[in-house]
Structure 1
Amino acid sequence: MSKPAVSPAFVQQLNFLARDASNESAALQAAFSLGLLDKLPRGPGAVPVSLEALARQLGANARGVRAVIEPLVGLGFVRLEEVRGYSLADATAAFLAQDAFTARLRDVLAWWHVVAKLPEAVRTGGPVDGRDLLGWYRALFLEPSPPAPGPEAEDFHDRFARNFARTQALVTAAELGLLARLVESSAPKATLAAELGAHPEGLGVLLGVLATLDVTREEDGRWGFTESAARMLDATSLPYFQRALPATMAYWEAFGHLDEAVREHRFRLDLRQPETARRIYQENASRISSIFASHLRLSRKAAELVGSMRSLAGARVLDVGTGSGVWGAAFGLAATTTHVTYLDSPHVLDAVRPHLTKLKLEARSRLWEGDCLTVDYGEAEYDVILLPQIIPALPPEALPGFFAKLARALRPGGLLLISGYLLTDRRDGPLDALYFSLRRYVSNEGDVLSLPEFRALLTPVGLSSARGFDMPIQQVVVAHRGDVAWPVVPSAAVTAA
């Protein structure tokens, strides 16, 4: 008998805590420490302020201010009016006028970097950097909190103060081996502490915090997974879940200095530095390669979409910034005569080769070592060009020339497929896309775009027809010169016409 399905809401929440919760806390904390919320107009008759004017008032760069304020709009704490600009939501203005409440927020700002040492605190049971981190966690999660001035204030404080602490609790549970141990069986706290090399008091705090997340529970003196956690985090799925945590931690230090990046345009994790980029992208390619099979199933849906618009038999496909190679491989498998070129840096292509060998695609594949912004793509070389989650990694100022070269390389009837997040026309959602955009900003990369922004880049280079499609997990934008018929019944829902 198969086990009952885990609640989608539980899966969504736990994945949010692993990937985006610390981004959300960072945005709220940066807005507070920058004084951004204080600068926003509020109250009856308030005139919204433009992004550029707000950046001038803060002495900050507009791109950084936008990266911080957009999630606040998506969460409803800030209002955005078309053309006019931003103002503070009435409820936000009310609770920020409470000195006792803002003092609580201010106290949280000192904990970001200390929280990253939770594994040490759990192992030793003592202070770290002279601070009682375990006591802070107890007060935040396991003891009664001071009353907030209303439900909106409590929601703000929860996201501001607890979300990044929740993420670090999951990171610590994975690092200590606690999650893997609980997959095996439940056990008394003392037994778990001895097996994991943790202090019983420190582990007790961690288990208690995880219990507030519905991950752990104590029964008859033994700690184990809840039913929901046991269904989601079994021996097969736990490794997949835990792979998100190192990526989150790679950005932790940078997010702790997000206000500095916005004000001074100085980045603690600068992916425009070649050595830093090499390290991060190589780690990312390794993580993606480990979940290649599941991503291949999803990528084949995109190949089906393109196949409903034009034949892939004999097609020449270019996969730009290929990463693990999963998108190009999906197109290579779509027809036995398709040829795929995989373009990326040498250390990333090293992760592609084993997949092509396993799928028996080597004979119809070419590995092209190069920089996607500087290589010569030629003229009318390709029937399909794939951009798998690469646009947010590129400098915005490079995109017009980049798209011009790609358009020149497309054959008549050719298609450009851009995968990744797609923002709403107002750039006020989806929230996971806004958090991804914030991560791109704090590492000095590119941006996540809306469909109108893509069209503004694609139309001048002759790709005058573009649509967005919903796919599993993410979206794709498909563009062409108007010489390909759109599918009457697409294999994915159209997000915008």
Structure 2
Amino acid sequence: MSQPVSAPSPAFVQQLNFHARDASNEAAALQAAFALGLFGHLPETGSGEPVSLETLAKRVGGTWRGTRSVVEPLVALGFVHLEEGRGYSLRASTVAFLRDEAFTTRLKEARRWWHPLALLSQAVRGGGPVEWGGESWDVLGWYRALFLSPAPSIPSAEARDFHDRFARNPARTLALVTAAELDVLVKLVRGPVPLEVLAREVGASAEALEVLLGALAAMGIVQAQETGWGFTEAAGRALDAQSLPYFQRALPATMAYWEALGHLDEAVREQRFRLDLRDPETARRIYQENASRISSIFASHLRLSRQAATLVRSMRPLAQARVLDVGTGSGVWGAAFGLADPTTHVTYLDSPHVLDAVRPHLAKLKLEARSELWAGDCLSVDYGESRYDVILLPQIIPALPPSELPSFFARLARALRPGGLLLISGYLLTDRRDGPLDALYFALRRYVTNEGDVLSLPEFRALLGPVGLTDARGFDMPIQQVVIAHRGDVAWPDVAPSA
């Protein structure tokens, strides 16, 4: 009788997903702060007047929005202190290691490697140095120094943590990206593989591949076994044949931001965005890739979205309801509401090339007869007056310019019928904008692509109240959160709000 397979460790899965998605954002914030000289412009907490965001932006020569995008994660990480109503200062422990010349020299060296590290897969295939920026870079040697050599002497636990996030986190992300690109992870799903066999199967130098495997071993993902290299027990439970494809789909999205994150300091000072999503062609390419990627995990997201539909149905009936899904993406949110009641009609609004990815899902779910595809720009279409009972905004607010939000919400409020609900899904920041960290990293990506912002509930209320949506609450949903707003004419459900 076969033994039941143990469930993957939530902590290990969380760490794995962090290294795949957010570690590069965290490292980019730290490296940009260092390059901007931000730390040098802040006093030690308790020994000087805290510096306001406006003053800090002037001192680093950057914009208010860009400086905020960099400093907010540093507050959440504990390296910078925010005193409400006064400004920012540096914790004493942070001041101590940033005054250590040997330590800051290590940081300068680590920062040089951001872009060459992206050539790790080339280095593993070829087994030698790679060319970038007219220079030769021993990327494999850098990985040996980071993961396979004795750790350098660093004066304190706080300094070691800072250096780990600053230098090793981007290297961890690229180790995962390279392992996915070379099919190393796929090969290991079937069990341990001898190094020479694995190198031959993935088309890599055995010696170079061993460096990559060493980095993955330091991350707790693989280990050398009697019969070859294989997954650790924790990784084997988390990356089986079913979950591995889902995990690997996040990696190309991470790499889409790599160059832009590496020039974050340039964006803050010069407002030069290497991945500018206000450029129509760039936006078309990225959003089409996102729609395709999201479509590949449509089923799992549909289960989560249906919980939001259940929450709305506890507030008002969905029978005969007209629902508008603005910026629909894969169509998963609108589909969840279409499935919530057999008489609901859903309109899906997005760009024509995005809607192409929606049609197959509606056909599979047999929702076509109660669906309408509306090709258009959400900032310029006429939503009409009192047309919809529910309007959905699935993760669209961070993609819109903040200056457009007042008029955007005004037009949406006008389009809501009496008793109508506006549902906004996505990340929701704390009132102080000092967390959660994954939301701040998402906000950083939005900044570096010249898009919108992630908001707190007070910020949403400040935008929604003037257009008549005077009652707004946040609710926890799987993965992210939703904000629901109305005119005060709908009873709230017996569910504890998140804020």
Closer/same/farther in 2, CA of residues 124 and 470 from structure 1, 3 Å limit: same
1:56 aligns with 2:58: yes
Query: Residue in 1 aligned with 2:498?
Result: 495
Aligned mates of 1:242, 1:436 — CA distance in 2: 19
Query: Residue in 1 aligned with 2:141?
Result: 135
Secondary structure at the aligned position of 1:476 is classed as: strand
Q: 2:263 aligns with which of 257, 262, 287?
A: 257
Aligned mates of 1:29, 1:144 — CA distance in 2: 23
Query: Residue in 2 aligned with 1:207?
Result: 213
Map residues 306-321 of structure 1 onto 2, 5 A cutoff. 306-321=312-327
Query: Residue in 1 aligned with 2:243?
Result: 237
Secondary structure at the aligned position of 2:430 is classed as: coil
**Structure 1 residue 429, shift from structure 2 partner:** 0.2
Return the letter of the residue paired with 1:355: H
Q: Larger deviation: 238-247 or 183-192?
A: 183-192
Return the letter of the residue paired with 1:110: R
Aligned mates of 2:353, 2:45 — CA distance in 1: 55
Aligned mates of 1:450, 1:420 — CA distance in 2: 11
Query: Residue in 2 aligned with 1:42?
Result: 44
1:96 aligns with 2:98: yes
Secondary structure at the aligned position of 1:494 is classed as: coil
**Structure 1 residue 43, shift from structure 2 partner:** 5.1
Aligned mates of 2:234, 2:84 — CA distance in 1: 42
Length, aligned pairs only: 493
Aligned mates of 2:188, 2:165 — CA distance in 1: 28
1:432 aligns with 2:438: yes
Aligned mates of 1:335, 1:280 — CA distance in 2: 33
Return the letter of the residue paired with 2:433: R
**Structure 1 residue 44, shift from structure 2 partner:** 3.6
Aligned mates of 1:131, 1:469 — CA distance in 2: 49
Return the letter of the residue paired with 1:295: H
Return the letter of the residue paired with 2:37: G
Map residues 156-195 of structure 1 onto 2, 5 A cutoff. 156-195=162-201
Secondary structure at the aligned position of 1:333 is classed as: helix
- Please list the CA deviations of residues 225-282 of structure 1 after superposition, one character each: whole Å capped at 9, or x if unmatched: 1111111111111110000000000000101110000010010000000000000000
Aligned mates of 2:271, 2:233 — CA distance in 1: 46
Return the letter of the residue paired with 2:497: V
**Structure 1 residue 293, shift from structure 2 partner:** 0.2
**Structure 1 residue 462, shift from structure 2 partner:** 0.2
Aligned mates of 2:205, 2:170 — CA distance in 1: 23
Aligned mates of 1:340, 1:189 — CA distance in 2: 54
Map residues 214-293 of structure 1 onto 2, 5 A cutoff. 214-293=220-299
Return the letter of the residue paired with 1:193: A
Query: Residue in 1 aligned with 2:447?
Result: 441
Aligned mates of 2:50, 2:469 — CA distance in 1: 36
Aligned mates of 2:110, 2:225 — CA distance in 1: 33
Return the letter of the residue paired with 2:271: H
Q: Normalising to structure 1: TM-score of the pair?
A: 0.99
Secondary structure at the aligned position of 1:472 is classed as: coil
| 2:385–2:414 contact (8 Å) kept in structure 1 | yes
Secondary structure at the aligned position of 1:312 is classed as: coil
Q: 1:467 aligns with which of 459, 473, 494?
A: 473
1:400 aligns with 2:403: no
- Please list the CA deviations of residues 119-170 of structure 1 after superposition, one character each: whole Å capped at 9, or x if unmatched: 0110111001211110110011111121111000000000000001000000
Secondary structure at the aligned position of 1:377 is classed as: coil
Aligned mates of 1:452, 1:187 — CA distance in 2: 54
**Structure 1 residue 221, shift from structure 2 partner:** 4.9
Aligned mates of 1:220, 1:33 — CA distance in 2: 46
Return the letter of the residue paired with 2:57: A
1:386 aligns with 2:389: no
Q: Could you list the runs of 4 or more consecutive aligned residues of structure 1 that deviate by over 6 angstroms after TM superposition?
A: none
Give unpaired runs (5+ residues) of structure 2. none
Aligned mates of 1:117, 1:460 — CA distance in 2: 50
| 2:192–2:225 contact (8 Å) kept in structure 1 | no
Q: Normalising to structure 2: TM-score of the pair?
A: 0.98
Secondary structure at the aligned position of 2:393 is classed as: strand
- Please list the CA deviations of residues 389-420 of structure 1 after superposition, one character each: whole Å capped at 9, or x if unmatched: 00000000000000000000000000000000
Aligned mates of 1:413, 1:62 — CA distance in 2: 39
Return the letter of the residue paired with 1:462: G
Query: Residue in 2 aligned with 1:81?
Result: 83
Query: Residue in 1 aligned with 2:155?
Result: 149
Q: Larger deviation: 317-326 or 45-54?
A: 45-54
| 2:379–2:408 contact (8 Å) kept in structure 1 | yes
- Please list the CA deviations of residues 361-392 of structure 1 after superposition, one character each: whole Å capped at 9, or x if unmatched: 00000000000000000000000000000000
**Structure 1 residue 2, shift from structure 2 partner:** 2.9
Aligned mates of 2:61, 2:363 — CA distance in 1: 53
Query: Residue in 2 aligned with 1:71?
Result: 73
**Structure 1 residue 347, shift from structure 2 partner:** 0.2
Aligned mates of 1:59, 1:197 — CA distance in 2: 47
| 2:45–2:81 contact (8 Å) kept in structure 1 | no
1:296 aligns with 2:302: yes
Aligned mates of 1:331, 1:147 — CA distance in 2: 57
